[in-house]
Structure 1
Amino acid sequence: MNRIPLKIFLFFPLFFVFSCTVISAREKGISTPQKQTNSKNVIIEMNETEAPLDLKWLIHEAIEQNPEIIAAQKRLNAAKAKISQAKSLDDPTIRIGSYDMSNNPVNVNGQTEMLQQRYGVSQKIPFPGKLRLRNEVAVEEA
């Protein structure tokens, strides 16, 4: 289950109060020359001739520029990517080998009495239900 950190709940009321103060100050004719955000140093020019800033736009910009929200979105995307990994089987393996099975202690010119070659392909198959449970855990963590 996704939980929103306490900082986000505290951020929005403070942001709302600040934006309402800026909007009401602009309506009264008090000029605020510019506002600079901390995340990417974006400067928003506020002139008296412009229309008041839209609260929805301000909230959208705060969400888009908040590094904690961006980091949480990246963690969510990483957790979603793990879902497909959890429900898939392990990679198959291929084995090739040759074994010298001679009793002769002296090997002349690479001649052997008996040479055995082996080839194989293997696939790990999990216990029934384990793959489904891994998938459910990955979905729950996302």
Structure 2
Amino acid sequence: MTIYFYGADEAPHGCFSNFSAHGFELDGHTWPTSEHYFQAQKFTGTRHADVIRRARTPLRAAELGRDPAKPLRRDWERVKDDVMRRAVTAKFRTHADIRAILLATADEEIVEDTTTDHYWGRGRTGTGKNMLGRILMRTRTRLRAEA
């Protein structure tokens, strides 16, 4: 069986969304969501990164992070997967309740069910890279080993 997720409010797997309200501390700051962290890292060391961290909602953080007027850090394409991995790991290590939900998925495949993102999700054709799902599954394996 495959577990599909997308919306942060969809039980029980909405917590897999980067928009879920599960904050954490990482890199000396408190982040309201993993979306806040991910988007801010595109501009690390700039004022814009702090503006994103303080955004009222994850949607607003995403909008700010996707602003084409702001130049991305030069190494973004090389580091973005590691940034996402760090955010997801911190989120699930911080919150025992959602860690239990992730671990309860056993060895099921986890897929971000979005038609608009072929990299992080399954994409319009269903053949996307599903990098967020892959990171969640790797995180599950690491957390299981730590338990």
Q: Same fold (TM over 0.5)?
A: no
Tell which structure's C-alpha radius of gyration is larger. 1
- The structure whose residues are more often strand, as a share, is 1
- Name the TM-score, length of structure 2 as normaliser: 0.22
